[in-house]
Amino acid sequence: MCGIAGEISPRGGISGDNARDIQTALKKRGPDQNGLYLSDSAVLIHTRLCVVDIENGRQPMSCMHDGNRYVIVYNGELYNTAELRSELIERGCEFKGHSDTEVVLNAFAVFGSECVYQFNGIFAFAIWDEKKRRLFFARDRIGVKPFFYTIENGQFIFASEIKGILKATGRQPEIDAQGVMEIMLIGPGRTPGYGVFKGIEELKPAHCGFFDDKGLRIHPYWKLEDREHTETFEQTAEHVRFLVTDAIKRQLVSDVPVGTFLSGGLDSSLISSVAARVMKENGQKLSTFTVSYKNNDKYFKASKFQPNSDSDFVGQMVDYLGCDSHLIEIDTPDLVQALFDAVDARDLPGMADVDSSLLLFCREIKKHVTVALSGECADEIFGGYPWYRNPTVRAKDGFPWAQSTLYRAGFIRSEFTSQIDPEDFVRQKYLDTVNATSKLPNLSPLESRMKEMINLNHHWFMQTLLDDKVANKNKTTCK
């Protein structure tokens, strides 16, 4: 992961005096390199975690095209770099290195804003057009990479983290009644596009836009759409196998050491198996990382989300893979203390011990590898949760994972509940998402509900996990 930030004023008047302070605020996102682009109309800030093309991938990066100069700050991984690079070379582009940053930059120079349709990857980036004095910015389809922004005194200010916005503006963080409701009723989730703190917005996943002297313009470029499924079961299985395997292989491309999370569950075991096979073909040995908790064997209790302990299955996978396995044990006092660091990393209250354990886990992983692949969000895509499988849970009205609105509302002061009714607030969020679900006509009630579940998970539960993963990687980029 990397950190990006910037201040844009097409009419000029930017000093860039606080650019270094903003850069420092984002340092943990990119400890290896940093850079600045300064002009009277634009400041672009970057902190880099080096993964591919360590020397030639420095940012901010610029290129010339048709007599115009473009400058980019980019956070992401582009998985079709090689294919897109070849196409751009055929169109006359010249490359100094092999980083995906250079490909994204040249793709914008050639295709303009339609470059987003060319990308297979996860990203948040901003590109300054010196001639038009205009900024283009975009975020990946799922929202893996973060992008927050605000407009103050006619300036567009953006950053990978909320703390970068606060540092750039000098604002004190404030929340109003809606912010309280977000934290207390929806947290650790967030309404898509809402930054919780007053005056701070989030670029929604699959959105891009421009900012220039005409103002701010944002639009979506992709959304989930229901389509008729025409493949046989065998074709579907083969198609899914290809997509999953291809996604894993593409994420193994790196100039730094790569490993995998290994919980013993289906998703991390599958990823580790594919990764081990690819690395063995290249004469390498996979490193896997497993987290455990002191006295877990004594205190573990089965649940619908985790019916059994991981340890037995991890051992079986380690034997099967022949990998270089690492067991990282976390003690409760360390877990509690790390809660404070986890909230600082996330800028908001999060998933409690899930956040702190992930932070501590990644700190240890970083001692061995820079990139670690995990199976996060597989349950959302492949139906691993009770609300997909259990008819009673699935049929409940409202967010299936948040059925405690009245209980949560009991902790909110009346000065806020008098402004916003808690039940109406949560229910409207739910209905907005359900009503926006793409569904073909004449679906059965079950199929219709499953489409809604996919959309609810895509816009809410998955985003919560992605926020958690991005915030708490602590110098390790977890794909």
Number of domains the chain is built from: 2
The pTM for the full model equals: 0.91
DSSP SS3 for 161: coil
Pair 251, 214 in one domain:
no
Mean pLDDT of 223-235: 95
Query: Which of 171, 198, 220 corresponds to the end of one domain?
Result: 220
Pair 204, 274 in one domain:
no
Catalytic one of 2, 63, 115, 478 = 2
- Judge contact between 57 and 99, C-beta under 8 A: yes
Pair 190, 234 in one domain:
no
Query: Looking up tokens 């860039």, which residue turns up?
Result: 16
Question: Can you give the residue range of the structural domain that contains 70?
Answer: 3-220
Pair 197, 91 in one domain:
yes
Pair 248, 138 in one domain:
no
Pair 171, 87 in one domain:
yes
Query: Which of 198, 220, 242 corresponds to the end of one domain?
Result: 220
Pair 325, 350 in one domain:
yes
Q: DSSP state, 31?
A: B
Pair 178, 325 in one domain:
no
Pair 100, 231 in one domain:
no
Question: What's the pLDDT at 475?
Answer: 39
CATH number at residue 364: 3.40.50.620
Rounded to an integer, what distance in angstroms lies between the CA atom of residue 174 and that of residue 151?
A: 16
Q: Is the pLDDT of residue 472 over 60?
A: no
Query: Which of 178, 196, 220 corresponds to the end of one domain?
Result: 220
The more confidently predicted of residues 462 and 216 is: 216
Q: Is the pLDDT of residue 471 over 60?
A: no
Non-local (6+) Cβ contacts of 185 within 8 A are 402, 405, 408, 409, 412, 422, 425, 426
Q: Is 2 a catalytic residue?
A: yes
What is the sign, positive or negative, of the torsion defined by CA atoms of 457, 181, 220, 347? negative
Pair 356, 398 in one domain:
yes
Q: Which two tokens stand for residue 354?
A: 């899930």
Rounded to an integer, what distance in angstroms lies between the CA atom of residue 87 and that of residue 137?
A: 22
Question: What's the pLDDT at 470?
Answer: 56
Pair 173, 237 in one domain:
no
pLDDT tens-digit series, residues 186-205:
988 899 999 999 999 999 99
Pair 256, 144 in one domain:
no
pLDDT tens-digit series, residues 331-374:
989 999 999 999 988 898 888 888 899 999 999 999 999 999 99
